[in-house]
Amino acid sequence: MQLQINIEPPTGRQQRVALSGRVDTHTYQDLDQRLAPLLGNAAVDNLVLDLEGVDYISSAGVRSVFRARKALAARGGKVLVLNPQPQIKKVFDIVKAVPVTDVFRSTAELDAYLDKMQKKVLAGDDDE
């Protein structure tokens, strides 16, 4: 199965990318190429990877997510993982590629987290 990559229009400083299919040795390079401009865009603080449609991820796919995290972390940004299937979440748990605090079961849970973070910044407490 091929990897489908849907890059949604940015919302403020957040960029959402929905993936479906397999992220493996045959598809990770396409993901890396499509993410590169987003990761190089200083206007993007948070990259939300919606993995609801991903049914398999290999070590190559995990490396792609890790590279994205590293690129954004260098400027204080984050990669947030949304809707991972149980088997994908298990892979992340095993390899510790994505901190548990950056994985969200639903859009509502992600939105609540982002709302909380924005309120902290407005209150002058942005040490997250």
Look at the chain and count its residues: 128
Is a pLDDT exceeding 70 seen at residue 42?
Answer: yes
- Position 115 scores a pLDDT of 59
Domain ranges of the chain: 4-122
If one compares 7 and 89, the residue with the highest pLDDT of the two is: 7
Class of domain 4-122: alpha beta
Asked if residue 72 lies in contact with residue 44, where contact means CB atoms within 8 angstroms, the answer is yes
Residue given tokens 């603080």 in the structure block: 45
- Position 128 scores a pLDDT of 47
- Residue spans of beta strands (DSSP E) within 1-128: 4-7, 14-23, 46-57, 78-82, 103-104
Q: What is the mean pLDDT of residues 22-43?
A: 94
Q: Which amino acid is residue 84, in one-letter code?
A: P
If one compares 125 and 92, the residue with the highest pLDDT of the two is: 92
- Position 126 scores a pLDDT of 56
**Cβ neighbours, 10 Å, residue 128:** 10
Asked if residue 3 lies in contact with residue 20, where contact means CB atoms within 8 angstroms, the answer is yes
Token pair for residue 24? 């493996």
pTM, two decimal places: 0.77
